[in-house]
Structure 1
Amino acid sequence: MDKIRTIIVDDEARMRRGIERIVRSYGENWDIVGTFSNGIEVIEFLEENETWVDLLITDVKMPEMDGLTLMKEIKSLNPDNDFSSIIVSGYDDFQFLQTAIREGAFDYILKPIKRSDFFEVLQKLENDIDEKRRKSLKWRDLIKQADKLALTKQTQLLSEAVSSEPEDIATMYWTKDFPDGLYQALFVSVDEFPSRTSEYSNEDWGAFAYATENIIDEVIMEYKNSKHQQLGWWWREGGLHFWVLLFSSSKENNDFFVTGDTFSRKLKSCLNKYTPFSFSVAQSNPFEDLCIMPEMKKQLHSLIRMRMIYGGNQVYSPRLIKELKDTEENNWFAANNMKGFANKLTSMLGRSDTSKIEKELSDLFKKIKKWRSPMEIQYALEYLMIYMFKVNLEDTESGIVLSDLGYILQAIKVESNINELENLVKQTFIQVHKKQLAFQQDPTLTPIMKTKKWINENLSQKITLQDISDYVYMNPNYFCQYFKKQTGKTVFDYITDLRLETAKELLQEQDLKVAEIARLIGYQDTKYFSRLFKQRWGSLPSEFKKKYKTML
């Protein structure tokens, strides 16, 4: 048992020393951290040392601050600290004594003090504190277990959100179980070295994965413990590829981005040090709405592809891409003027006629078709697509993001028909070009008006965040921030509110079954719809319908 931290207060020095001797003689479980002549000295001591006490032994009547006031002051200093009090009282202090007991004093000792009476009180108090500590320890263990279960559940939800197809945004109710604040998503991926893979057995790869998981877990724990209200989750995507989600209660985007960058570099350094591989990290910009997690997968998977140009063992983010120095001057890209062509072509997007862009690409492929090296063709097209991705990623307001970059690069790698490759590249460029044009036009409707109009027209359909952001030509993260700033609601809340308002109207105006109404407003799961309806309107849809009919 930990020692019981004790403070003794009495304005009579002889009485203080006598109480101290009795307490010390009782046993070694008592740690007397100070003796004082009045309550003000006690408060000053506690404030200066930022310490706590388990037991206050105090006289009732003292000059400047009596014992009852001292008890209240100590409680106000640290409301979460459960301490006990023993009141020392004279026979004429009975009214004070009654008040002290009501204020929560554990027991009292009457003057003159008898050692046997004092020992009896200390024994009861020691047992009481021991029982409280055991209960407190058990309670803390239960809280830890509950937190662990909650963390496991949250991690599973995040993993499913990233690995599965985008859900209807209004069914992502699980996001409400996460705190409000800023988030950053990180994709941590091993830099593959095919020439070395044969050196390791399956057992080796299992050990590497286990070591990597432990390293990520330790760095996240350090992050969570470094500052109040910082949280982190991680899960494995497969192989030596992992996801990390960081949370901060801070609202400062720039500060949190720097924190995330520091975390990424620390994690990368530890992985380099304790595994035989290098790792790259794709880091998102801070965001508030977890509904964009499915889109984050596409963006960060595309972002990690930057290592094909700039090399591995780096941290890639939308902001840091601008700071990366070009490293291709001395390789074959410069010889074929690919950098200059990529710059020219991307500058035409959203500005030139579609026919001119198609002609530039046709001229390029006439030259490419004359190359003898399939590897050069692959690298040239990969460079072109990554360059366009980089340029569009920097434009966060229009938010034209080539989220399917991973798919396109894979197609370039495996496609053997040069004409098919030409069609793929042309289609991609024209698609982005049209999005750029659309973003600059249509002044009659604001993005919010367009969004609400589209949601109303598609309320009965599956609605994903990507569907909406594609329609208004915005990056999903930027769109979520813009929508909340303009409407005061998240996209999730707006769609849910609209669907439940519509359901209420349908129940009042139409003679339809609950399942039919659920489908009409976009919910395939009737039970889920009913639960949401009751949370909003206080009764199940069937009950609401009956009550409404009886009122007519």
Structure 2
Amino acid sequence: MNKIKTIIVDDEAKIRNGMERLLHRDGDHWDIVGIFSDGIEVIEFLKGNQIDFDLLITDVKMPEMDGLTLINEIKNINRDSNFSTIIVSGYDDFRLVQSAIREGALDYILKPIDRKQFFEVLQKVKKRIDELRSTMHKWKDLIKQSDMLTLTKQTQLLSEAVSSEKEDIATMYWIKDFPDGLYQAFFISVDEFPSKSSEYSNEDWGAFAYAVENILDEVVMEYKNSKHESQGWWWRDGGLHFWVLLYSARKEYEDFIVAGDSFSRKLKLCLNKYTPFSFSSAQSNPFEDLFVLPEMKKQLHSLIRMRMIYGGNQVYSFRLLHKLKDTDDHHLVAANNMKEFASKLTTMLGRSDTPKIDKEISELFNKIKKLRSPIEIQHAIEYLIIYMFKVNLEETEPGLSLKDLDEILQAIKTESNMNKLEKLVKQTFINIHQKQLDYNQDPALTPIMKAKKWIYENLSKKITLRDISDYIYMNPTYFCQYFKKQTGKTVFDYITDLRLETAKELLLEQDLKVIDIAQLVGYQDPKYFSRLFKQKWGSLPSEFKKKYKAIY
């Protein structure tokens, strides 16, 4: 049984003591958390202890602070408090009693206190508080159920965004339902253990996945509980591969990085302790715009490839890449001087002539072809590609994008023809080389101007973040940050505003159907377009046109 926490206030000691004795005689329902001689003492007590209570029994007329003022002061201290009040009053205090009842006091007791009346009032109060508790319990259950449904819906949206290959910005309107602040994404993947894989049945793998899910649930919940105004989501990406998204309402970049690092360490320890495998994870930098998630998938998938060089059971982040040191303890890398070749080639990108890069790669492949086995050849080429990716991230301030690293590495694994492999590697290096050359040209147009020009010219088409960033040769995540810093708008908001501005012009200047206008500005769903139009301009498209014609 939850006792009723009670505070007694009266400037007469005899009455205070008498009410205390009567409460104790009424049974174990009452827990007296404080007895005070005036309202000021109560306020100081509540401010110092932040205690919740159920019932206030107070004299209505006291020299330092009257009961009505006390009730209002307590409400000001904690606006969420839901306490009941009994007023103790003399006959000449009746006007104050009436005011107190208007403020929500349940009942009043006249002085001198009659025991029978006091117990009757207590029974009424107990019934009222029980009803309040029951209502609050049901309300909290409803809130909890609502929160769970919201969490499930949000997790599904995030999962779909990450799994999408090319997410049209126009379809990502759901990001507006997520809070404004900083986010960090994590991709967690089991390290490969081919020798152990055959030892486990499908049921075993299912049990391992269930264990990881429980660990994620606990570690994410611990993060949410330890940080003010923080949230977290996680979902499975097939097999023993998982995603986590953390949120912080406070836009303190460095503090959030520390929190993300702490989360990664905690998760790594738990996974190592409670599963028979090691896991590597890739951790993003903090970002504000959720529509970068489809691109974040490619970046983190590429980042986790670093375990091919530095080993598994580690946390990889873009910030830590420059701190990683090549140990050259891999015999293939050391014996064949792959690091030297990789370093030389990446230095040439954006600086040398294309024929020189082509020649250098040909000479490198002449050495690779002399390796003793297909495994050695594969490892050597993988090292070359990943090293280029690493240097590209470290040394390129605007974050030039290395597109489709996963696809390149997958092709290396599956392609057995050496001539085709050589051609693939050459094409990869030359593409990056050309990107860096192009980026340094055409100084008349800034990256923002180029992006705006491209968006305007492609407004009726499906627009993805990758399309824009590829056009201006910038890393998608960096581009989003740069765009917002320069324009004051997110890429999503800029494109939405431009589409709706253009739609208004088409609506007023041309005789077109709403469905045609929607498609001309990039929206395939006319209902969604109409809803956005009304949010922007205050009326549905058809109503807006009628109003305009009526005026002019």
How far residue 396 of structure 1 moved from its aligned partner, in angstroms, is: 5.9
Shift of 1:526: 1.6
Kindly provide the CA deviation profile for residues 170-226 of structure 1, in whole angstroms up to 9, marking residues without a partner as x.
221000010011111100000121111111111111111111111111110111111
Q: Conserved in 2, the CA contact under 8 Å of 1:396 and 1:475? A: no
Per the alignment, residue 493 of structure 2 pairs with: 493
Q: Which runs of structure 2 are paired with 1:299-338 in the superposition (5 Å)?
A: 299-329=299-329, 331-338=331-338
Q: Which residue number in structure 2 is paired with residue 74 of structure 1? A: 74
- The match for 1:297 is 297
- What is the match of residue 392 of structure 2? 392
Amino acid of the residue matched to residue 273 of structure 2? K
Residue 363 of structure 1: aligned partner: 363
Structure 2 match to 1:119: 119
Alignment of 1:137-176 (within 5 A): 137-176=137-176
Kindly indicate whether the alpha-carbon contact (under 8 Å) linking 1:9 and 1:57 is maintained by their aligned counterparts in 2. yes
Instruction: Report matched runs for 1:77-476 at 5 Å.
Output: 77-329=77-329, 331-395=331-395, 397-476=397-476
Secondary structure class of the residue paired with 2:8: strand
CA contact (8 A) 2:332 2:379 kept: no
How far is 1:2 from its partner? 1.2
1:229 partner amino acid: E
Point out the more displaced range, 281-290 or 25-34: 25-34
Q: CA RMSD, aligned part only? A: 1.3
Is the 2:289–2:490 Cα contact (8 Å) retained in structure 1?
A: yes
Residue deviations 1:463-512 (CA, integer Å, cap 9, x gap):
10111111122111111111111111110010001101111110100011
Moved more, 395-404 or 454-463: 395-404
Preserved CA contact (<8 Å) 2:9 2:39 = yes
Closer, same or farther in 2 for the Cα pair 1:144/1:465, shift >3 Å?
same
Distance 1:136 1:118, change over 3 A: same
CA offsets 1:14-42 (integer angstroms, 9 cap, x no match): 11111111121112111111211111111
CA distance in structure 2 between the partners assigned to 1:137 and 1:397 by the alignment: 54
Counterpart of 1:238 in 2: which secondary structure?
A: coil
Structure 2: distance between partners of 1:462 and 1:135: 50
In structure 1, runs of 5+ residues without a counterpart are: none
| 74-83 vs 96-105, which moves further | 96-105
- Provide the secondary structure at the position in 1 that maps to 2:184: strand
SS of the aligned residue for 2:318 comes to coil
Q: Structure 1 CA distance, aligned partners of 2:83 and 2:457?
A: 62
Tell me the distance in 1 between the aligned counterparts of 2:100 and 2:282: 61
Query: For residue 62 of structure 1, what is the aligned residue in structure 2?
Result: 62
* Stretch deviating more after TM superposition (285-294 or 510-519): 510-519
Within 1, Cα distance between the matches of 2:29 and 2:98?
29
Shift of 1:550: 2.9
Amino-acid identity (%): 76
Say whether the 8 Å CA contact 1:220–1:233 is kept in structure 2: yes
Contact 2:401 2:473 in 1 (8 A): no
Structure-2 change in CA distance of 1:161 and 1:480 (3 Å): same
Does the Cα contact within 8 Å between 1:398 and 1:439 map onto a contact in 2?
A: no
After superposition, the C-alpha distances for 1:48-96 in whole angstroms (9 at most, x for unaligned) are 2221221111111112111111111111111111111111110111121
Q: TM-score, normalised by structure 1?
A: 0.98
For 1:538, the equivalent position in structure 2 comes to 538
AA aligned to 1:259 is A
- Given that residues 397 and 475 in structure 1 are in contact (C-alpha distance below 8 angstroms), is that contact kept between their aligned partners in structure 2? no
**Whole-angstrom distance in 2 between the partners of 1:165 and 1:513:** 32
Is the contact made by 2:7 and 2:56 (CA closer than 8 Å) also made in structure 1?
yes
2:34 maps to what in 1? 34
Q: Quick one: structure 1 residues 514 and 395, their matched pair in 2 at CA, closer, same or farther if it must change by over 3 Å?
A: farther
State the match for 2:53 in structure 1: 53
Count of residues in correspondence between the two structures: 552
- Any idea what SS the aligned residue of 1:269 has? helix
Aligned to 1:517: 517
Give yes or no for contact 2:52–2:81 (8 Å, CA) kept in 1.
yes
Q: Deviations over 1:398-436 (max 9, x none)?
A: 212324111111111110111111111111111111111
Distance 2:445 2:20 in 1: 80
Runs of 4+ in 1 over 4 A off after TM superposition: none
Distance of 1:35 and 1:527 partners within structure 2 = 62
Deviation at 1:330, TM superposition (A): 5.5
Aligned partners of 1:148 and 1:336: how far apart in 2?
A: 55
Residue 395 of structure 1 and its aligned partner are, at CA, apart by 4.0
For the Cα contact (< 8 Å) 1:282–1:303, is it kept in 2? yes
Give the whole-Å Cα distance in 1 for the aligned partners of 2:534 and 2:48: 53
The answer to whether the aligner puts 1:18 opposite 2:21 as a matched pair is no
User: Does structure 1 retain, via aligned residues, the 8 Å contact 2:508–2:545?
Assistant: yes
8 Å CA contact retained: 1:397, 1:474: no
AA partner of residue 222 (structure 1): E
Tell me, yes or no, if the aligned pair for 2:281 and 2:315 is still in contact at 8 Å.
yes
Quote the Cα distance in structure 1 between the aligned partners of 2:297 and 2:223: 23
The verdict on how the C-alpha distance between 1:160 and 1:396 changes in structure 2, with shifts beyond 3 A counting, is farther
Query: Match of 2:539, SS?
Result: coil
CA distance in 1 between counterparts of 2:511 and 2:265 reads 60
Contact 2:401 2:470 in 1 (8 A): no
Residues 286-333 of structure 1 deviation map (CA, whole Å, 9 limit, x = unaligned): 110000000011111111111111110000111112112213245121
Q: Is the 8 A contact 1:248 1:256 kept in 2?
A: yes
Q: Distance in 1 between matches of 2:2 and 2:152?
A: 33
